[in-house]
Amino acid sequence: MAAVATANGLPVLSSQAYLEGKTVWETRTLVADLCRQFYTLGWVSGTGGSITIKVHDDSIPKSDQLIVMSPSGVQKERMIPEDMYVLSSGGDMLSTPCAKPYPHKSPKCSDCASLFMKITHMEMIKGIQGHGYFDELVVPIIENTAYERELTESLSDAISAYPKATAVLVRNHGIYVWGDSWISAKTQAECYHYLFDAAIKLHQLGIDWKIPSHGLIKNESYQSGSKRKFNVYANSGLAVQASVPSRKFIVLDIEGTTTPISFVTEILFPYARDNVRKHLTSTYDSLETKDDIKLLRAQVLDDLEKGIAGSTPIPPDDTGKEEVIESLVVNVEAMIKADRKITALKQLQGHIWRTGYENNELQGVVFDDVPEALERWHASGIKIYIYSSGSREAQRLIFGNTAHGDLRKYLCGFFDTTVGNKREARSYFEISQSVGVDKTSQILFITDVYQEAVAAKAAGLEVILSIRPGNASLPENHEFKTITSFAEI
């Protein structure tokens, strides 16, 4: 049996007993449960954000209680207790989730880890600590950064400037809420969600200031140095009624829908073809490229069995680097020429294009009506996703570096062929399960490909066909609504 030391008369962990005990497991289960519920409520995106809870155990001093943290890059609605990280109170990693079988990526601890803070001397009134019915609620808003760990300084400054605050909003990212227990943090998150949702609905109705006869809501935002302040006054008995469309999600194709086909066929494909040998040679020994080669090997073996034209056997690694690369180049060039919609090719292309964007040799292209539409839909509360045959990384690169700036701030997630073939109804059902809709009809899918439209409709989605310059002709007398610009939606 593990030895247990004591501090102030209470036991302190000195073995695996606490780490593998009932309270830690229950907290792991709770985090997984909350991730699914918060995703369903729309409070967190598919893989973004993190939920962190301190393990409550009266037999362990608070200073020694462990921390359970959800992983990064895992769909919130699919998390299980085994996916969680366990950290010491000082932030040291004690337990990590096991890697899942290929093609799942290795788990990653969220950058939120360095932002975890212990907050004391909080009061609990009307759901929001330190606030009563007639009090003013002040929530600091700070600017987003490239990585969550880089928020530490501005988050600390905001908490110092507003010591009574129990939450901080991060622009185009989300909200950090804390409390003296997971129950109080969850309760406050629900309250903030209600207040912000009410403020947004009233803003959409044109009500931006406190109305003396009702005392509804005051929603004020102003610049103060690098900080902004968001003041909300709410009557808890108020039922705000606003016209909310049944369409809550929009899923967009890229090629021929948000982006000209010519950009893909005349810019991206040739760049990948012309740089595949250079890329494989310079990155051959990296883990990422080894994974790309493994995927290509499996695809080529399958192609050879099916007699796919252009397929060439790839020699084993011990044959030599040059021979392996030569065969890979031949296969990749044949795949690109045939415009194969396969994960092995799309993943490698995404990695090649990333280098092009980083070297300023490539810039993402979208139609001029796209940025305004994305901003408008996002402001109305609609969640926007991308579904393309290109890899998720390639999708992010297109929208992250355009003449209109970084458009990823309007997007909630990306789907590629790992979710399924775009011409199969099952793929769209999988997407609907991932985004968490009550009815598949709440999703609008926009594409230029008739076969994709048919598949999406079969899954119950609303569908619109995109007619853009250079797109293929559509069948006559098809049943779908068409648009030539997102301004029509």
In terms of average pLDDT, the best of 210-214, 216-220, 243-247 is 243-247
Residues of the chain with pLDDT > 90, as a percent, come to 37
How many CB atoms are located within 10 Å of the residue 13 CB? 22
pLDDT at residue 114, rounded to an integer: 41
Q: Is 224 helix (H, G, I), strand (E, B) or coil?
A: strand
Which tokens hold the place of 366? 């979208």
pLDDT at residue 301, rounded to an integer: 93
pLDDT at residue 410, rounded to an integer: 95
Q: Tell me the residue length of the chain.
A: 489
pLDDT at residue 399, rounded to an integer: 95
Q: Of 171, 189, 144, which is closest to residue 41 (Cα–Cα)?
A: 189
Query: Quick check: 330 pLDDT over 90?
Result: yes
pLDDT at residue 442, rounded to an integer: 92
Cβ contact 232:217 at 8 Å: yes
**Residue 244 or residue 174, greater confidence:** 174
pLDDT at residue 227, rounded to an integer: 35
pLDDT at residue 257, rounded to an integer: 97
- 123 classed as catalytic: yes
Q: What average pLDDT is seen over the chain?
A: 77
Query: Quick check: 233 pLDDT over 50?
Result: no
pLDDT at residue 125, rounded to an integer: 32
Q: Which domains does the chain have, with CATH numbers?
A: 16-111 (3.40.225.10), 137-232 (3.40.225.10), 249-259+365-488 (3.40.50.1000), 262-358 (1.10.720.60)
Summarize pLDDT for 141-166 with one digit per residue, the tens: 777 776 666 777 777 777 776 677 77
Contacts of 113 (CB under 8 A, 6+ apart): 52, 69, 85, 87, 91, 149
Average pLDDT over residues 444-467: 96
Burial of 333 (0-12, 13-18, 19+ CB in 10 A): middle
Amino acid at 44: V
**Residue 17 or residue 487, greater confidence:** 487
Which tokens hold the place of 9? 């008369």
**Residue 301 or residue 104, greater confidence:** 301
Summarize pLDDT for 91-147 with one digit per residue, the tens: 778 888 877 666 556 667 665 444 433 323 333 335 666 666 555 666 777 777 766
pLDDT at residue 296, rounded to an integer: 94
Q: In the structure, what pLDDT confidence band is assigned to residue 390 with cuts at 50, 70 and 90?
A: confident
Q: In the structure, what pLDDT confidence band is assigned to residue 17 with cuts at 50, 70 and 90?
A: confident
Q: In the structure, what pLDDT confidence band is assigned to residue 45 with cuts at 50, 70 and 90?
A: low
Query: Quick check: 234 pLDDT over 60?
Result: no
Q: Is 237 helix (H, G, I), strand (E, B) or coil?
A: coil
Query: Quick check: 5 pLDDT over 60?
Result: no
Q: Of 81, 96, 91, which is closest to residue 26 (Cα–Cα)?
A: 81
pTM over 0.85: no
- Indicate the range of 177-191, 327-341, 416-430 predicted with least confidence: 177-191
Torsion of CA 98, 99, 101, 103, to 10 degrees: 160
Query: Quick check: 288 pLDDT over 70?
Result: yes
**Residue 245 or residue 106, greater confidence:** 106
- Indicate the range of 68-72, 91-95, 188-192, 371-375 predicted with least confidence: 188-192
Query: Quick check: 458 pLDDT over 90?
Result: yes
- Indicate the range of 120-134, 227-241, 257-271 predicted with least confidence: 227-241
Query: Quick check: 209 pLDDT over 50?
Result: no
pLDDT at residue 96, rounded to an integer: 85
pLDDT at residue 216, rounded to an integer: 31
Query: Quick check: 241 pLDDT over 60?
Result: no
**Residue 326 or residue 220, greater confidence:** 326
Q: Of 373, 435, 434, 382, which is closest to residue 404 (Cα–Cα)?
A: 373
| HEC profile of 87-116 | ECCCCCEEECCCCCCCCCCCCEECHHHHHC
pLDDT at residue 446, rounded to an integer: 97
Q: Is 390 helix (H, G, I), strand (E, B) or coil?
A: coil
Query: Quick check: 197 pLDDT over 80?
Result: no
pLDDT at residue 47, rounded to an integer: 60
Average pLDDT over residues 433-462: 93
- Indicate the range of 44-58, 251-265, 315-329 predicted with least confidence: 44-58
Q: Please tell me which residue in 20, 123, 361, 479 is annotated as part of the active site.
A: 123
Summarize pLDDT for 315-324 with one digit per residue, the tens: 988 888 999 9
Cα separation of 54 and 52, whole Å? Answer: 7
pLDDT at residue 246, rounded to an integer: 55
Average pLDDT over residues 297-313: 91
Query: Quick check: 256 pLDDT over 60?
Result: yes
pLDDT at residue 263, rounded to an integer: 93
**Could you tell me the maximum CA-CA distance found in the chain, to the nearest angstrom?**
82
